[in-house]
Structure 1
Amino acid sequence: MTATPSQPYTPFESCAQPAAATIRRPRAAEEEAARRRPARPSRPGVRAAVRDLAGLALLPLPLLGLAVPGAFAGGGTRRWFGGRAESQRAEAQAAKDAAAAAFYELDTAQRDLRISIETITAVDDSPAARRAVAGFEALGRRIDEVSHTYIQAVDAHDLDRDDLETSAAARARTDLNKAKDELERVKQELDRFTDGLGPLLGKAETQLARLAPAVERARQALLAATNALDATRAAGLRADDLAARLAALGPELTKLNQGAGQHGVPETLERAERVARDAEGVRAEAERLPERAAEIDRRLVSLRTRAQALTTRSDQVEPVLSELRRRFTAACWQDLQHVPEQAAESVRQAERRLAEARAAREEQRWPDATALLSTVRALLNTTDEAVSAAGDRLRRLNEVSKDPQREIERTRFAIRDAQRLAMTGRTTPDPRHARPLDDSVARLERAVAGLEGRHPDYWHFLTETEAVRRTVADVVARIREERGGGTGA
């Protein structure tokens, strides 16, 4: 709380003393005179007093001026008004104490609110936070006004004066009570404002509570990554890429050490989480690197063995093609003519990539080695499929040429099963289902008719029956989906 009084004012410690401790007591001479004076003088005493007065009347005037105050007031003029004057002084002092207490409470509340506002602004820069700051500043100006009024009221009335008049004490009490009421009113406004800050303050405190643990986690993650990298290097692995990634986190650690006061709480939290995440990634890869190197070594051996096996299998494709050419029409084998050449070329490419992968492994370029091995695997998979396709084609053509009826019945069964499902719960089929099923029947009949003749195209027959079964399966899936997953007959 800020205020600039025109004169020094009573500190909180003095203002907060109980009223009884600050009320001015009668002087010792007055108390002694009051103790010695009889409560109710007797008539002889009255007559003696009259004689004394008469004697005093004969004294010279200067002596009379000195004697009269002691004779009538017992040591001071205050005794004539002692009861009411002291009561007014006590009430004024009580009002002063109450105003001082209100001033102290308002000052304490403002200090607490300032801490809350600083907490919010350290974390939040939203429009709501900016409005809170503006509201606090407006409250601060209002608090300065009522504080200045209170200090002026304290400075304007000296309640310790010996000659304090009753009217002055009454004015003091009125002014101090008014100042107290204003202080309490502003305190209520401040309390309402503080209550309204609850959500903002809670969010800010939550983020601040996360700050220290987040920074500590980042530091520990960096330490763990450094230790893991040292252990990996001790095993003879350079891990240069991991070392570069870890070195890049150095400036971020410096900013974390500089603190949120310089870089802001949200930015520091985000930085701490990012550093912890990146450092954890470096640590995990460093710890996995020996195993990764061993895995690459195993894959090099395995893929090399597979490439050699495919070379042997590729040599067997040509005899398969010869038998296909001898026994079946050109349509059954024409698409396989180039398999031997393609397989040999794919194997050669795979072997070249294997050599490159081995060189990358020796140079400890782990990402390059892994990528090259993936390329080798893809080449060998393609070659394997092509080589297998020739042998699989011959096997299937042999089966269908010996017994085409088995393939026909298999396809007709699929069609009939779909037709029963389409008619379940209906008297007529849905055209959306019936049409593709009818087309499938016709397509199967045409494929069967193609088997007539001296040199039937068995491969066309097989591809047609497979296509019919796929169409039928699509219809069945659509029917079941429309019926909520129901089953066929």
Structure 2
Amino acid sequence: MAGGGGGRGGWWRQRSEGQRAGAKAARDAAQEAFYELDSTQRDVQLAVETVRAAEDSGAARQALNDFQDISARIDQVTVAYLAALDASDLDAPELDPAVASRAQQQLEQARRELAAKQTELTNFLQRLQPLLQHAEAQLIRVTPAVEKAKRALLGATAALDAVRAAGLTADDLAARLAQLAPELGRLNEGAARHGVAGTLQRAEDVAQRADAVRSAAEQLPERAREIDRRLASLRTRIQALETKAGTVEPALSELRRRFSAACWQDLQRVPAQTAEAVRTARQQLTEAARARDEQRWPDATTAIGTVRALLETADGSVAAVSERLRQLNEVEHDPHQEIERARFAVRDAQRLAMAGRQAPDPRHAAPLDEAVARLDRAVASLDAAGRHPDYWHFLTELAAVRESAAQVVAMIRGTH
């Protein structure tokens, strides 16, 4: 009896150990399935993050939603696996075979569920490949773009330092460069936070703005030298204008003495206008020099433009006086020369109007007839004027005749 009882105890222990071994094998297999699933999930998580950073399409958003659903189901399976793992102590000295058997069943079920989710996750990753490949291609563009932006910032900084070393403050350029500091911070945060498209656009914007600052800084010394040259040139022009202005009063005096009032009345204010132009030009030139010293380049350029406009207008007025005297001298000496010039212009237009025609086009004939009549009236008024004819009216009338003839010629040639 004793021997028989001992045999049954050994059999029971063998059965218990066999159940323990089966349960442990199931536990090991479930653990391996769990580790494989966890590793795959991390890989897929990285792929999904890559897509999320680079893509903003409907397909990308659907993929993210699908992954969230899969992850939720994986969490449920993981909870079940951990519960099965904790349900029994398979290393207990006295392990009930029934407990071991139940643990083996639970762990095998957990392994099957983990494996099923592994398959589902692998299939999802395969479906994600086109999106992932496109996203990776986009991400490849990010690093060079960001590096380009950083190089542009370094170039702008170096150019600004060189300008300052040359004694130019360039505060406006420094302010523009400082505005890019927050953008650099966002670039450093990366595409994962701001997206590929946003990062690429920001990098391009930073590079362009930094390059603009660098270019402006590099041009600044030459810009300063050019302004210095313009200031010196304008000082010389003001002095030259003052010298020429000295000829205005003598010329006007001669015009008053020798010709009728109609010939010079419109020039009476030229001396006062010239003096005012010189005074204003000197003030503006002083302001331009002050702006240049204070490195207010746009203000300096504006003041220089004002000075140039003043001088050009005053130069034209001064020249008009001497030119008026010259023209009046010539017509007084020989009015027939101007008359012949006008007649030749009209006859030339008339010949062109008749070319290939029996009769001229009324559109051409009418203004030419009027030009002839106007010429005749101008000549008649000159002959009837006596000692002090209005030579200036005569000259302007003849100039109008020539202009009318020229307009007809242009009209004819424009129709051919």
User: What is the one-letter code of the residue matched to 2:205?
Assistant: R
2:335 aligns with 404
1:419 aligns with 350
1:375 aligns with 2:306: yes
2:249 aligns with 318
How far apart, CA to CA, are the structure 2 residues paired with 1:395 and 1:433?
Answer: 34
User: What is the one-letter code of the residue matched to 2:414?
Assistant: E
1:470 aligns with 2:412: no
How far apart, CA to CA, are the structure 2 residues paired with 1:137 and 1:256?
Answer: 24
Cα distance, 1:306–1:133 mapped onto 2, change above 3 Å: same
Cα distance, 1:222–1:460 mapped onto 2, change above 3 Å: same
User: What is the one-letter code of the residue matched to 2:257?
Assistant: R
User: What is the one-letter code of the residue matched to 2:374?
Assistant: R
User: What is the one-letter code of the residue matched to 2:182?
Assistant: P
- Kept after mapping to 1: 8 A contact 2:49/2:192: no
- Kept after mapping to 2: 8 A contact 1:117/1:133: no
Query: What is the DSSP-based 3-state SS (H/G/I as helix, E as strand, rest coil) of the residue aligned with 2:231?
Result: helix
How far apart, CA to CA, are the structure 2 residues paired with 1:482 and 1:116?
Answer: 72
Query: What is the DSSP-based 3-state SS (H/G/I as helix, E as strand, rest coil) of the residue aligned with 1:452?
Result: helix
1:348 aligns with 2:279: yes
Cα distance, 1:275–1:449 mapped onto 2, change above 3 Å: farther
Query: What is the DSSP-based 3-state SS (H/G/I as helix, E as strand, rest coil) of the residue aligned with 2:289?
Result: helix
User: What is the one-letter code of the residue matched to 2:345?
Assistant: A
User: What is the one-letter code of the residue matched to 1:305?
Assistant: T
How far apart, CA to CA, are the structure 2 residues paired with 1:396 and 1:283?
Answer: 55
How far apart, CA to CA, are the structure 2 residues paired with 1:124 and 1:470?
Answer: 69
Q: How does 1:73-84 map to 2 (within 5 A)?
A: none
2:89 aligns with none
1:307 aligns with 2:216: no
Query: What is the DSSP-based 3-state SS (H/G/I as helix, E as strand, rest coil) of the residue aligned with 2:383?
Result: coil
Cα distance, 1:136–1:261 mapped onto 2, change above 3 Å: closer
Cα distance, 1:254–1:135 mapped onto 2, change above 3 Å: closer
Shift of 1:117: 12
Cα distance, 1:211–1:440 mapped onto 2, change above 3 Å: farther
2:76 aligns with none
How far apart, CA to CA, are the structure 2 residues paired with 1:346 and 1:365?
Answer: 24
How far apart, CA to CA, are the structure 1 residues paired with 2:136 and 2:391?
Answer: 78
Which digits, 9 at most, give the CA deviation of each residue in 1:285-333, with x for residues without a partner?
A: 2122222222222222221122122122212211110111111111111
1:54 aligns with none
Q: How does 1:244-393 map to 2 (within 5 A)?
A: 244-393=175-324
How far apart, CA to CA, are the structure 2 residues paired with 1:207 and 1:319?
Answer: 80
- Kept after mapping to 2: 8 A contact 1:321/1:390: yes
How far apart, CA to CA, are the structure 1 residues paired with 2:296 and 2:310?
Answer: 22
2:325 aligns with 394
Q: How does 1:433-472 map to 2 (within 5 A)?
A: 433-453=364-384, 454=386, 455-472=388-405
User: What is the one-letter code of the residue matched to 2:302?
Assistant: A
Runs of 5+ unmatched residues, structure 1: 1-7, 12-110, 144-185, 484-489
How far apart, CA to CA, are the structure 1 residues paired with 2:253 and 2:397?
Answer: 25
Give the length in aligned residue pairs. 331
How far apart, CA to CA, are the structure 2 residues paired with 1:462 and 1:122?
Answer: 80
Cα distance, 1:464–1:219 mapped onto 2, change above 3 Å: farther
Q: Larger relative CO (CA 8 A, sep 6+): 1 or 2? A: 2
Shift of 1:407: 1.9
1:480 aligns with 413
User: What is the one-letter code of the residue matched to 1:384?
Assistant: D
Which digits, 9 at most, give the CA deviation of each residue in 1:61-84, with x for residues without a partner?
A: xxxxxxxxxxxxxxxxxxxxxxxx
Which digits, 9 at most, give the CA deviation of each residue in 1:123-143, with x for residues without a partner?
A: 676xxx44x558879999xx9
Shift of 1:208: 5.9
- Kept after mapping to 2: 8 A contact 1:300/1:354: yes
TM-score by length of 1: 0.58
How far apart, CA to CA, are the structure 2 residues paired with 1:349 and 1:238?
Answer: 29
RMSD: 4.1
- Kept after mapping to 2: 8 A contact 1:249/1:275: yes
Cα distance, 1:328–1:251 mapped onto 2, change above 3 Å: same
How far apart, CA to CA, are the structure 1 residues paired with 2:223 and 2:145?
Answer: 31
2:21 aligns with none
More helix by share: 2
How far apart, CA to CA, are the structure 2 residues paired with 1:205 and 1:461?
Answer: 84
- Kept after mapping to 2: 8 A contact 1:317/1:391: yes
User: What is the one-letter code of the residue matched to 1:216?
Assistant: E
Instruction: Report % sequence identity.
Output: 62
Cα distance, 1:287–1:427 mapped onto 2, change above 3 Å: same
User: What is the one-letter code of the residue matched to 1:227?
Assistant: A
How far apart, CA to CA, are the structure 1 residues paired with 2:266 and 2:414?
Answer: 38
1:222 aligns with 153
Structure of greater Rg: 1
TM-score by length of 2: 0.67
User: What is the one-letter code of the residue matched to 2:274?
Assistant: A
How far apart, CA to CA, are the structure 1 residues paired with 2:359 and 2:146?
Answer: 72
- Kept after mapping to 1: 8 A contact 2:50/2:136: no
